[in-house]
Amino acid sequence: MTFTPALCRFHPAGRLMYTELFELGPEKIIDRESDFYKDTSNSCTEFLISGIHYMHFSFHESGMEKLVLKSNEPYISMLFSIKNRCLYHNQEKKAVFADIGSNQHALLYVSNQDMEIEWQYEEDAEVLVINLTIEHFRRFVTGDHPLFAFFESSEYGNTPAILGEKTLQITPRMFTLLYELSNCEYKGHYKKLFIKSKVIELLMLQFEQYEKVLENEEVVTYKDEHLEKMHKAREIIASNLAKPCSILDLAQQVGTNDCYLKKQFKQVFGTTVYGYLQQERMEKSRKLLLQGDKKISEVARLTGYKHASHFTTAFKKYFGYLPNQIRLMVMSLFTSPELAALSEIPLYL
């Protein structure tokens, strides 16, 4: 397979385009000095393996740079800013959604929308970026972690966001790991193992730090009017499974803002907006399939899935068995009465 450069620059404006992060095979390794800063004193080194794209930007003179980022698919970005200020602009809303200062780090959800990045760097500044595919990130984030609600909300709305809605200071241990990454002397497969282990450790430290900060935040006491808004939001979601509205639209319909809605919905119902939507979609799809008069593709459409394959994957993940297995069970109801309980409770195979 032929790969286009992971970092491409088009003039007159700088432009970053990610492609290889989503195309790289499991055995492929790319290790190179990028030509992104060709003919300048700045530099960028890259290392790509399946699911992970590591970049180390070095700036030898103070300055400012603006880039437009375009990605084929959404992904998670672990960003570490050293002697640099990184501003990330949501192009649709014309607003800054992330402001990472000097010696700070953040976890960003980057959607497949155009996004402007502004870097204001000092002399000898560095930016270390570790991009993870959504699939790779999901291997490590757990549903009970405070960041998971932010992640699912961003994924639901396909909205660029800073997970946890804040930046944190880079710790001494993080600095050590970043130094080890940027000065790795291993090659090939050994470098692949080294990079993967250090990335996992860095991600663990970020998770740990965010968990301590977010769990120490003051718990809000809700008034009846706030509870009414959350219940209204839930009703709107349940009534629009085929064409769900965005988080922003949902918040406006119940008379609040998107940040408040995301946080309070989880507090009231114990799940995220996206999590509740998935739950309702799955339960409705199971009932429709049990009726036995609709094709799987039609059930997928009625529950908001454009592609039947995506619906099948989600259904299998939620219930533990494939949608077409329900059909076989329904056909057996007349000969196996004990299977009638399927219409009342979920069955895990």
Nearest to 286, CA basis, from 231, 223, 335, 348 = 348
Around Cβ 56, how many Cβ atoms within 10 Å? Answer: 20
Task: Please determine, looking at this structure, whether the domain spanning 285-343 carries the CATH number 1.10.1740.
Answer: no
CATH class of 14-215: mainly beta
CA angle (89, 33, 61) in 5-degree steps: 60
Chain centroid to Cα 32, Å, comes to 26
User: pLDDT 10s per residue in the chain (349 long)?
Assistant: 222 333 433 333 444 555 677 777 888 888 988 776 766 778 889 999 999 999 999 998 888 988 887 788 899 999 999 999 999 998 777 889 999 999 999 999 998 887 889 999 988 899 999 999 999 999 999 988 999 989 988 888 888 999 998 899 999 899 999 999 999 999 999 999 999 999 999 999 999 999 988 876 644 445 567 778 888 998 999 899 988 888 999 999 998 888 888 888 887 777 889 888 988 898 888 888 888 788 899 999 999 998 889 999 988 888 878 888 876 655 554 444 444 444 443 333 2
Parse the chain into domains and list their residue ranges: 14-215, 224-270, 285-343
For 19-28, which contacts have Cβ atoms below 8 Å and span 24 or more sequence positions? 19/72, 20/48, 20/53, 21/48, 21/51, 21/53, 21/75, 21/131, 21/133, 22/72, 22/73, 22/75, 22/133, 24/48, 24/49, 24/50, 25/1, 25/50, 26/50
pTM, entire model = 0.63
